[in-house]
């Protein structure tokens, strides 16, 4: 019989959070709590087993009063359409566990909660959570341990999901009680989560709240001004008004390590085609389907068949189409530039001496170097370790012709951020062509 693969300890939290996510979103916390309790109980005895059968529900009256007071105060300052309550990162802030409330003058799409960063008012008095001193001590010891045992790490991560659910259980109970006492309106939703967590529980009253902010609109093709200028753009997925990434589908590695390795390989300035073995990647489906897909934190771009057909005539031998294996997008290729240019001396960036460029504050290019290039990269600083290792700066840049090809074919998935403009008849261009 084949042995089961040993599960990494630091994979426990994401696996368990994913398993209970649907129940949390539907405010069905009891089955999720029960699952976490059972998983923790089955693990070898640890200092985190003291979290079993613990609860904050004895603070329901206090939490309901706290929510009601926040509503009463905030409603005098602004039209209140939603409340979000967030627990601080309890596993690293081990002295005091507290929660803060945030008020919104709109209610966004409940299936796309990036709008939670757009709060207008917050509480001055947090809700202090009490009664789990032994669990707090366990986390305090754990965070001070440089290399905890795998069994202890499993237990810590399981307990973390359990405590998130217990907090949400308290806040949903408090919201129900406040509504019952008519201290919260029936059409005011209350959402609850732990800081930096995607597990967000929602409490609704008897009146369904109106969504007043549906979400960002898809970017539209922009009109190129008729001023005789040419432009260089940085490829981006774009941002909404809260600086959240637009909800295009994206490509990810099959694991974090695999994604980092592939991203590092694509940062190299040499041709990769000869030794390329198509890696497996996966599609993370979001709200919008697209033809160009970002990969590796948006530093690299992949294309489907439609996008390749539109773009390939521009590239000649300046770009490699490297195939990747993605079950949801067949066929699929990553774009890898083969042309890299140095920034002009008048560009401004943060590299000093032998350090690497991490931020470019002002772009400028030697115009002859970018003439005829429609997708290219930028070399790292001349004396940098990254340059010596054959790596580029972490962005791709494109021309007006690239932008026009995308927009004329109605392709989706990318936003063009203009970083540089120049006149085609610029004297510097003519000089560098010997005119």
**Predicted confidence (pLDDT) at residue 427 exceeds the cutoff of 60:** no
Predicted confidence (pLDDT) per residue in 261-309, tens digit: 999 999 999 999 999 999 999 999 988 999 999 987 768 999 999 999 9
What is the pTM assigned to this prediction? 0.75
In the chain, what are the domain boundaries? 9-203, 229-432
Distance of alpha carbon 407 from the chain centroid: 26
- Angle CA(396)–CA(307)–CA(391) in degrees, nearest 5? 25
Please, which residues bridge with residue 300 across strands? Answer: 295
Q: What is the model's pLDDT at position 5?
A: 39
| CB count in 10 Å sphere of residue 273 | 11
Q: What is the model's pLDDT at position 3?
A: 39
| Residue whose C-alpha is closest to residue 71's, from 104, 110, 117, 115 | 104
Q: What angle separates helix 12-25 from helix 29-42, to the nearest 10 degrees?
A: 160
Q: What is the model's pLDDT at position 145?
A: 82
**Predicted confidence (pLDDT) at residue 6 exceeds the cutoff of 50:** no
Cβ atoms of residues 250 and 293 within 8 Å:
yes
Cβ-Cβ contacts under 8 Å for 168 (sequence gap 6 or more) = 24, 29, 192, 193, 199, 201
Instruction: Give the separation between CA 364 and CA 20, rounded to whole angstroms.
Output: 50
> b or e along 130-149 (b: 16 or more beta carbons within 10 Å of the residue's beta carbon)?
eebeebbebbeebeeeeebe
Phi, psi of 396, deg, nearest 5? -110, 150
Predicted confidence (pLDDT) per residue in 67-125, tens digit: 999 999 999 999 999 999 999 999 888 889 999 999 999 999 888 888 999 999 999 89
**Predicted confidence (pLDDT) at residue 259 exceeds the cutoff of 50:** yes
Instruction: Give the separation between CA 210 and CA 190, rounded to whole angstroms.
Output: 13
Cβ-Cβ contacts under 8 Å for 175 (sequence gap 6 or more) = 64, 67, 184, 190, 203
**Predicted confidence (pLDDT) at residue 431 exceeds the cutoff of 70:** no
CA distances from 433 to 103, 106, 358, 366 (A): 60, 57, 32, 12
| Residue whose C-alpha is closest to residue 126's, from 167, 166, 162, 159 | 167
**Predicted confidence (pLDDT) at residue 209 exceeds the cutoff of 80:** yes
- Report residue 374's pLDDT band, with 50, 70 and 90 as the boundaries: very high
Bond prior to 331 in cis (omega within 30° of 0):
yes
Q: What is the model's pLDDT at position 242?
A: 87
């Amino acid at each position: 019989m084949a042995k089961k693969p040993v599960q990494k300890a630091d994979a426990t939290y994401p696996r368990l959070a994913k398993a209970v996510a649907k129940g949390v979103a539907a405010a069905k916390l009891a089955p999720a709590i029960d699952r976490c309790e059972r998983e923790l109980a089955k693990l070898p005895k640890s200092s985190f087993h003291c979290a079993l059968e613990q609860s904050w529900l004895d603070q329901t009256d206090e939490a309901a009063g706290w929510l009601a007071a926040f509503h009463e105060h905030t409603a005098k300052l602004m039209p209140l359409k939603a409340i979000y309550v967030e627990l601080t990162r309890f596993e690293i802030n081990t002295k005091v566990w507290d929660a803060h409330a945030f008020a919104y003058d709109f209610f966004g799409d409940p299936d796309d909660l990036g709008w939670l960063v757009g709060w207008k008012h917050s509480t001055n008095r947090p809700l202090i959570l009490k009664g789990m001193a032994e669990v707090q001590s366990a986390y305090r010891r754990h965070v001070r341990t440089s290399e905890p045992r795998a069994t202890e790490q499993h237990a810590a991560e399981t307990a973390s999901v359990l405590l998130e659910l217990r907090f949400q259980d308290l806040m949903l109970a408090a919201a129900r009680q406040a509504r019952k006492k008519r201290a919260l309106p029936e059409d005011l939703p209350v959402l609850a989560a732990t800081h930096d967590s995607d597990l967000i529980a929602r409490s609704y009253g008897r009146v369904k709240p109106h969504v007043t902010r549906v979400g960002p609109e898809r970017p539209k093709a922009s009109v190129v001004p008729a001023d005789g200028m040419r432009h260089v753009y940085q490829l981006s997925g774009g941002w909404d008004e809260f600086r959240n990434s637009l909800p295009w589908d994206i490509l990810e590695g099959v694991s974090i390590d695999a994604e980092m390795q592939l991203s590092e390989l694509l940062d190299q300035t040499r041709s990769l085609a000869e030794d390329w073995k198509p890696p497996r990647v996966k599609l993370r489906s979001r709200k919008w389907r697209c033809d160009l897909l970002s990969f590796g934190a948006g530093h690299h771009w992949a294309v489907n068949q439609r996008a390749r057909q539109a773009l390939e005539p521009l590239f000649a031998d300046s770009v490699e189409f490297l195939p990747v294996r993605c079950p949801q997008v067949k066929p699929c290729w990553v774009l890898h530039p083969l042309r890299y240019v140095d920034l002009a001396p008048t560009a401004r960036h943060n590299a000093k001496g032998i350090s690497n460029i991490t931020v470019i504050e002002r772009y400028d290019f030697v115009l002859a170097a970018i003439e005829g290039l429609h997708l290219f990269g930028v070399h790292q600083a001349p004396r940098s370790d990254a340059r010596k290792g054959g790596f580029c700066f972490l962005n791709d840049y494109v021309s007006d012709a690239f932008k026009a090809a995308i927009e004329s074919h109605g392709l989706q998935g990318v936003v063009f951020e203009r970083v540089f403009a120049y006149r085609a008849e610029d004297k510097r261009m003519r000089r560098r062509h010997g005119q």
